[in-house]
Amino acid sequence: MNWNWGAINQVADNVIIAAGIAWLIARQFIWRSGELKRMLRMPVVVVAAGLAYLAIELWGGFQWVAGDWLVVAELGLVAVTGTAMGHVTRFRTVAGLLQYRLTGIGLVLWAVFVAIRVGNFALASVLGANLADATGLVLLSFGVNRLAAIIVVRRRAKGFLVQGAAASMPGGSR
């Protein structure tokens, strides 16, 4: 039996990454700590991993084709969906600690994210784009989405915390 280890590795990478992303998406819908210092950690790590993975995938040689502009468009669109996710995130305080989670509309936005990714992959493959099937692009796309969402969430969380502090002051509004 002759095994194609390159193909097996590609499938295994995609399955592992898809499972990891599914787990991270599911986490978006449960209340979690809103520690402002920690919020950026995961998106930055995912973007860095995507860039590193993409560099490794392209190391053997890469030639830009016109269809690869779809990748740039995809990154812009997933940044927009991430920004929207940041705006539909809810906040609460429990025992004086900020928590946040994505609302039900976020599920629709995740479906839009997946549609963008799948649609881009299909269109890019028809146009002969080289980057569309890169595993690193999946990570980069997800990381850009999360980074855009967290930037908005952090800005909104700061406002929520300031508003909460004002409301708890004597004479503040509730």
User: How does pLDDT run across 82-141, given as a tens digit for each residue?
Assistant: 999 999 999 999 998 899 999 999 999 999 999 998 888 888 778 777 666 677 888 899
**Cα 90 from Cα 160, distance rounded (Å):** 10
pLDDT above 70 (res 2): yes
Asked if residue 140 belongs to a domain, the reply is: yes
The count of other CB atoms within 10 Å of the CB of residue 12 is 11
Asked if residue 21 belongs to a domain, the reply is: yes
166 contact partners, CB below 8 Å, separation of at least 6 = 172, 173
Range 134-172 burial, b when 16+ CB lie within 10 A, else e = bbbbbbbbbbbbbbbbbbbbbebbeebeeebeeeeeeee
Range of the domain at 151: 5-165
- Residue 165: the pLDDT is 61
Asked if residue 174 belongs to a domain, the reply is: no
Asked if residue 30 belongs to a domain, the reply is: yes
Asked if residue 51 belongs to a domain, the reply is: yes
Asked if residue 108 belongs to a domain, the reply is: yes
Tracing tokens 């929520």 back to the chain, one arrives at 160
Q: How many domains does the chain have?
A: 1
27 phi, psi to nearest 5 deg: -60, -25
Is 120 buried (19+), middle (13-18) or exposed (0-12) by CB count in 10 A?
Answer: buried
Asked if residue 173 belongs to a domain, the reply is: no
**Cα 157 from Cα 149, distance rounded (Å):** 12
Structure token pair of residue 148: 């855009």
Asked if residue 170 belongs to a domain, the reply is: no
| pTM of the shown model | 0.83
pLDDT above 80 (res 72): yes
**Averaged over 143-167, what is the pLDDT?**
88
pLDDT greater at residue 134 or residue 36: 36
Strands of the sheet with 32-33, listed across from one edge? 32-33, 97-102, 89-94
C-alpha pair distances (Å), 171 with each of 93, 159, 165: 20, 19, 12
Structure token pair of residue 155: 């800005």
